Chain A
Amino acid sequence: MSIILQVKDLVTKFYTLDGVVNAVNGVSFELNEGETLAIVGESGSGKSVTMMSLLGLIPMPPGKIESGSASFNSEEGLCDLLQLSPEEMRDIRGGQIGFVFQDPISTLNPILTIGEQISETLIRHKGLSKEQAREQTIKLLSQVGIPDPELRYKAYPFQFSGGMRQRVVIAIAIACTPKIIIADEPTTALDVTVQAQIIELFKELRDALGVAVIWITHDLGVVAGIAERVLVMYGGRPVEIAQVMDIYKDPKHPYTLGLLRALPSLEAKESKRLKSIKGTPPDLLIPFKHCPFASRCDYAFDRCWEEIPPLISVGEQHQAACFFDLEEGGPRHD
């Protein structure tokens, strides 16, 4: 298994009138070929901004990528996504890295046919003629499970349901057989049965195309069904990275534990109150001098208020950023 994307120490800030928003504060992770990595975190944890930063989709200004690197094993060889010119980045976007966004209602242009919106990607990256792109688009539509693709080619987004629109967006993302698909909460705006269908479709396509997927979500329930590894983010920082089963069975960070306790369980014998994490997400306008989760953490002790815990190895392919050892029930000795 080779690494297709390696992100190191990514820092993104927004210079707004209210002050500097520290949206992403040193994110590092790697993505293997054909692997599905879930990025989990609550709103404002920096998961979307991380992905937008990698692909130059951050509005600049006010946004600015302060530092970091993102080496991507592209068709042309290794390159740093953060150092590419806008032209080179456009070749990669849509061509080698596909995107699926959250709300399929607003992510499609309301006045262009869905056929046109898919085929323009093909024309841009594959240099197909209009007619070739049309044929390819019809194939894609049937591949993502849209019935009567030839008829639907000429349809407009408003004639589709939410789930169908998301299928169209997925068709756009896979149109040029990318190496990575970034799916930013692709099922959040859909109802539960449609969610399951879309997840199923994703798995099918991932296995058929051998594409790596970065699945951004705040729903740990969805993660188990699709991801192989999970990156948990908090306050613009990674707090835990592990194999998906380790996250559920053996969480090493109090925040991850809190997220899991907030999940309803089908196995629970008696009806139990779900435990929420107390407090509110951190104010990103203030740069952290200590663990960003300390104020909400049940296990915080004096060291947590003095320095920022680094990401350390806590097991096989398992890293966490916490001074507290949940198993031992006391401060970690290092």
Chain B
Amino acid sequence: MGRYFLSKLIQSLVLLFGVLFLVFMMVRVTGDPAALMLSRNASPEQLEALREEMGFNDPALVQFKHYITGAILGDFGNSLHFKTPALPLVLERLPATVQLASVGMLMAIIIGIPIGLVGGFTPGSVVDSIGRFLALIGQSVPNFWLGLMMILFLGVRLGWFPTFGRDSWNSVVMPAFVLGLPVMGQLVRLTRSAVLEIRGEDFIRTAHSKGLEPRTIYLKHVLRNVAIPLVSVIGVQFGYMLGGSIYIEAIFAWPGMGGLLAQSIGWRDFPLIQAIAVFTSLIVLLLNLLTDLAYSIIDPRIRYGR
């Protein structure tokens, strides 16, 4: 168990280093970074001053060392737009993004998994048919369109939810639903097929042959095995959701990291983009680590390295 986790931790650190390297290269290999950051009619003196200030005149290795030490200390330089350190700007937006992603994921889990379970245990039933239809819709409707429609009908016509911002408790409902819907569809289908597969396994027949109550068999033998594929999908999808959803945050004017990323790209605010990129990767890596941990708790074959 300890060894498994340690190896996963080391893998994550190697990946994080790779991400840092890519982000570093991203700015340096796309041309003159100073020219990219300043507007087109900047004078040669202004360009030279920025190069000196950002250290672009130093050898690449020296720059990389400064960048890495800075990243470890949480210093990605000052945002060009706000003229203040970049990382605190990102952290400021974090709660909104975490709230949006968590509520969206919760909706997907609470709605998707039960529908999938019912479908898997009673394939062909009414609930199953409706669930599969909803899953198909959820996975195929473009979420920016759905967002606009919800604003139009639920927000403007019916006035049930605020149409934008994050000012009242129910502001989160619409953007979270739109964000969670594709995942919900995926969870319905995955849960359904996993239940069907596990129910047909020989060890379920063995469980029946022991005379166990159907409820015990479902809870103990079926569900725990179904949880294995679900955990991995939930982990990966939650990572995506936390990485910021540029469209949805833009449509609902949600003050999260996705919105900030969209703006900072417009401003060509490289330090800020770098900070968001590295920070988002860090979140995804952490989530993967947690997913692996959850995995190993459920499945002994992974715990013992098989």
Contacts and interface: CB of A to CB of B under 8 A. Distances in A.
Contact of A57 (B201, B208, B212, B213): B208
A95 interface: yes
Given A103-B202, A156-B304, A159-B304, A109 B225 contact: yes
Given A93-B210, A121-B210, A107 B301 contact: no
A112 interface: yes
Contact of A169 (B206, B211, B225, B301): B206
Contacts of B213: 90, 124
Given A95-B211, A111-B225, A101 B301 contact: no
Interface residues of B, number: 24
Contacts of A125: 211
B306 interface: yes
A173 B90 CA distance: 61
B209 A55 contact: yes
A91 B300 CA distance: 31
B52 interface: no
Contacts of B212: 90, 94, 120-121, 124
B182 to A, nearest CB: 29
Contact of A99 (B206, B216, B301, B306): B206
Contact of B211 (A93, A111, A112, A113): A93
Given A120-B212, A121-B211, A158 B301 contact: yes
A321 interface: no
A108 interface: yes
A159 B306 CA distance: 9
A110 interface: yes
Contacts of A158: 300-301, 304, 306
A108 B211 contact: no
A104 to B, nearest CB: 9
A106 interface: yes
Nearest to B227: A111
B220 A107 contact: no
Contacts of B28: none
Nearest to A110: B301
Given A101-B205, A103-B202, A111-B224, A92 B211 contact: yes
Interface in A81-122: 89-95, 98-99, 101, 103, 106-113, 120-121
A20 B228 CA distance: 37
A57 B205 contact: yes
A272 B92 CA distance: 86
Interface of A: 55, 57, 89-95, 98-99, 101, 103, 106-113, 120-121, 124-125, 156, 158-159, 169, 172
Nearest first, the 8 A-B pairs at minimum CB distance are: A94-B211, A94-B210, A99-B209, A93-B211, A106-B202, A90-B211, A109-B203, A121-B210
Given A101-B205, A156-B301, 16 more contacts: A94-B212, A101-B202, A101-B206, A106-B201, A109-B207, A109-B221, A110-B203, A111-B225, A111-B228, A111-B298, A113-B300, A121-B212, A124-B210, A124-B216, A156-B304, A172-B210
